[in-house]
Amino acid sequence: MLKNKVVLITGAGSGIGRAVALVCAREGASLLLSDIDEAGTEATAALVREVGNEALVVLADVGVATDCQMLVERCCSHFGRLDVACNNAGISGPSLNTADYPVDDWNHVIQVNLSGVFYGMKYQIEAMLRTGGGAIVNVASILGAVGFATAPAYAAAKHGVVGLTHTAALEYSAQGVRVNAVGPGFIRTPMIEALDNDEATHAMLVAAHPMGRLGEAEEVAELVVWLASARASFVTGAYYPVDGGYLAR
């Protein structure tokens, strides 16, 4: 599905980002893998190379605009272009109600989870327009569509990612850049391990998903890669839940 395509993935050192990298590799892509976690990203790169694909590791903080610009420049200088970007890096922030939420934590979550996606798209779109188009898949969340008590910054940022996705799709789809977002439910990754750490919480999280289980990173990756591929050629400006039915209630 992605044969000879160049794909840039942020947050590629863990969880969903690593799974996206591996499905992209299986589908024939060359990869620029980025994260702030060097060991995790090198581990992902080693797995990609085992499949026989090229993986370039470039460390970057998505919350810094110049890092996001540098990522796209490195991608274009190394591979000659950028076809697909998956803006996936994200953090959960503390679990606290709105009135108790520290301002510094609010700013940090918005910086990484929302501004990071804006910075990414700003430079990715510019590069894609130079080569006639491309596809962007932003990793939002079910909390891009509904609230969740004790996650004010995270939910606000993810709603913002969905709004940015709609807006950029309106602006650039006629020029060949498709922009979509996915909304994972609770997925078994290191991010969730910190929250899903006792039996009562686990039972509550499982019960929130009509399928009666949490999701796997690979299940999100399959949707991301389909949206990024030419098989989704008429899909843009869309927000696709991948949530075991969480949002259907």
Catalytic site residue 123?
Answer: no
**Burial bucket for residue 108 (CB in 10 Å: 0-12, 13-18, 19+):** middle
Parallel, antiparallel, or unpaired: how do β-strands 30-35 and 55-59 relate? parallel
Helical spans, DSSP H, in the chain: 15-26, 38-50, 65-79, 103-110, 116-130, 152-172, 190-193, 199-207, 217-228
Among residues 130, 172, 138, the alpha carbon closest in space to that of 157 is found at: 138
Active site residue: 123, 154, 240, 246, which one?
Answer: 154
Interface with ligand NAP, residue 192, by CB under 6 A: yes
- Nearest approach in angstroms of CB 175 to ligand NAP is 26
Which H, E and C letters describe 180-199, residue by residue?
EEEEECCECCHHHHCCCCCH
Binding piece for ligand NAP, criterion CB under 6 A, among 22-30, 59-67, 70-78, 172-180: 59-67
Interface with ligand NAP, residue 42, by CB under 6 A: no
Binding piece for ligand NAP, criterion CB under 6 A, among 8-16, 49-57, 76-84, 98-106: 8-16
Q: What is the largest CA-CA distance in the chain?
A: 52
Interface with ligand NAP, residue 244, by CB under 6 A: no
Site string for ligand NAP, 93-132 (x = CB under 6 A): -------------------x--------------------
- Give the Cα separation of 108 and 92 in Å (integer): 10
- Considering only 65, 191, 235, 238, the residue that binds ligand NAP (CB under 6 A) is 191
Positions in the binding site for ligand NAP (CB under 6 A)? 10-11, 13-17, 35-37, 40, 61-63, 88-91, 112, 139, 141, 184, 186-187, 189-192
Catalytic annotation, residues:
154
